[in-house]
Amino acid sequence: MRIGIGSDHGGFALKEEIKKLIEISGHEVFDYGTNNSESVDYPEYGKLVGEAVVSGKIDRGIVICGTGIGISISANKVKGIRCALCSDTYSARMSMEHNNANVLALGGRVLGIDLAKEIVSVWLNSKFEGGRHQRRIDKISEME
């Protein structure tokens, strides 16, 4: 799978760790920045990753800011994005199986590295179940 990842300064350190995990897992990583811990604005990175998913350049995206809240809101402004902010593995699995989340948001200042890696692994290995859930995804798309 082609996985895009982007963060602001608050998520930079975690982004670098998650990139390693994605590569070790056999996926291709596309880094949309930022490239250091100097202050930047998270909406730019949520938008970059969201647009890459919608265009088909990448299959899924991961976005990270300090709490994950701002960057998830930003990614969700891109038409066609279903970004889920997850802080546990159950939510990560359900976000994919039931909601077909095409972007995962994480909080770099609120999650430990090990938990964040578990969340990403579960999300990457989960599949959308379709069926009754597709009807609900269609309703979300109609709202756009």
- Cβ-defined contacts of 17-24 (< 8 Å, 24+): 17/113, 17/116, 17/117, 18/62, 18/64, 18/106, 18/116, 18/117, 18/120, 21/117, 21/120, 21/121, 22/62, 22/120, 22/124
| Catalytic one of 9, 27, 98, 133 | 98
> Is-catalytic flag, 86?
no
98 as an active site residue: the answer is yes
List the catalytic residues: 65, 98
